[in-house]
Amino acid sequence: MPNGQLELSSVGQPLEVTIKYGTLEKKITGQPDQVTREIFAFLMKTVPELELASRLALSVDIKELAQACEGVIAVTPEGVVVTVPIDKLADRELMLLHLAMARISQMLGKSEKDLVQSAELIAATKRTSGTVAGRLSELCGENLAERKGKGEYRITTLGLHVFREQVLPKLKSKA
C-alpha cells in the first residue's frame, strides 16, 4: 500500500492493530477473528479496488475446509483418514480426494509436505499406474493439480475448491 503503515502488537489475549493509510488511521483491539474482520472492512471502505479483487480471489481457508470435511475426513495421530466409503467415486474424484488429504494434512501440521507420489496414489487408490497417470494428467491440464517433481503432485487452490464443491457432497451423501 503506498503511504501505508500497519503496526501489530499482541500483549496477552487481545490483539491490537493500528492501520495508517495516508491521512487515515484506525486502531482496532479485540480477538484475532474480530480484528481480522474489522481490518478487512476498513480496507474495503478505504481502498475500493480491494472489493473487486476480493470477489475475484480464490483462496482456501483451513477452518472452513475443515468444517466442510467434518464427518468425511478425520485427523488421527497417524494422519488424515477418510471415514466414509469411497468405492463409488470416479477415478478423478478419488485422485482429488487423496491430493486434498495431503494438503489438509500439511495445513494442519500433520505432515511437512503436501506432495503425493504417483506410486502412493497407485497404492492408495488401488488403480493401475496407467489409470493414475491418465487422471493426474487430466487434473493437471485442468489446473486442479500440479506436477512438482518427478512423480510428485499436489492439489491446487482451484483443485481444493472443486474438491469441496463436487467431491465432498458425494462423500457426505454416503455417510
Which residue intervals of the chain are DSSP H helices? 32-46, 49-56, 62-69, 91-107, 118-125, 129-141, 157-162, 168-174
What is the span of the domain harbouring residue 110?
Answer: 62-174
| Rounded-to-integer distance, Cα 141 and Cα 43, Å | 36
Q: Contact at 8 Å (CB) between 79 and 107?
A: no
CATH number for 123: 1.10.10.10
pLDDT digit string (tens) for 70-98? Answer: 999 998 888 889 999 898 899 999 999 99
pTM above 0.75, yes or no: no
- Would you state the pLDDT for residue 84? 93
Q: Which residue has the cell 481480522?
A: 36
Residues 43 and 82 reside in one and the same domain:
no
Residues 92 and 169 reside in one and the same domain:
yes
Residue ranges, the chain, pLDDT below 50: 1-2, 9-11
pLDDT digit string (tens) for 133-146? Answer: 999 999 999 999 99
